[in-house]
Amino acid sequence: MVVPLHSLSQSAPPTPGMVTKLVYVKRCVIVTYICAVGRFIADDPFGAINDVFGGLFGTFLLREDPQLQSCFQCLHESPLGAMSEGGMACLLPYMLMAGLNGMFSSVRVYAILVKFGTLKPCSDRLGCYLPVWLCVSAAAQLLAVFLSWTVYKQMQQQVFSGVYMHPGEATTSGPAPSRDSQSEGAAASFRGDPAMQTLNPWRTQAPFQPFQGGGHQFGENRS
């Protein structure tokens, strides 16, 4: 079973365990921005753009973080703000973007290792350090995907257990009744209310009586 995305975005605030993991996700986002700069300097502009997009998704996800809140406000006031309001609704999109970036960077690192046998094939120019930036970018984003996935699983468990309810409902009304108990209560109230019984056509219909008249045949004279 999959929890709808809008249910996660409208849920209660994250638990302390989720906040701890999101703090590490924030560090991975910052590292992703740094790797984007490094890849751009190392003559890999398209890879740098991919890392920038991954960092932007992470910034929208962590819109309430004190260190990224000002950055999110600037992005939200730009045309990018029309794409999303940010928050936990960006959890799955960020996981998808970071996961793709991490896999692509890992494949490039593997290709460089197979071709040169080392992560530093040269040292006379800035492009020689590109494999290092690829390794750091892949590690940071794949780690962020893993941490985000654990947060998503915890949110699923809390949604299924009924923790995410309307404000004040968990403390005032206790646990939510099950569907079976609600159905039994409705049926009991229906049986105990005479007015409701009169509204039920299946309870007020007349008893069945078989036909008691005489039969007729074709051609019989009725006069």
Q: How many residues does the chain have?
A: 223
Q: Please list the pLDDT of the chain residue by residue as tens digits (223 residues).
A: 344 444 455 555 778 888 899 999 999 999 999 999 999 999 999 999 999 999 999 999 999 888 898 999 999 898 888 888 888 889 999 999 999 999 999 999 999 888 888 877 777 788 888 999 999 999 999 999 999 999 999 888 877 776 444 444 444 445 555 555 555 555 555 455 555 455 454 455 556 666 566 666 656 555 5
* CA distance readout (Å), 41 to 51, 127, 205: 13, 8, 84
Task: Report residue 7 as tokens.
Answer: 């249910």
Residue with tokens 């460089």: 112
- Is-contact 26 58, C-beta < 8 A? yes
Which residue type is seen at 140?
A: A
Query: 199-215 burial, b if ≥16 CB within 10 A, otherwise e?
Result: eeeeeeeeeeeeeeeee
Nearest to 159 by CA among 25, 22, 18: 18
Q: Which two tokens stand for residue 31?
A: 């590292």
Q: CA-CA distance, 216 to 223, in Å (whole number)? A: 13
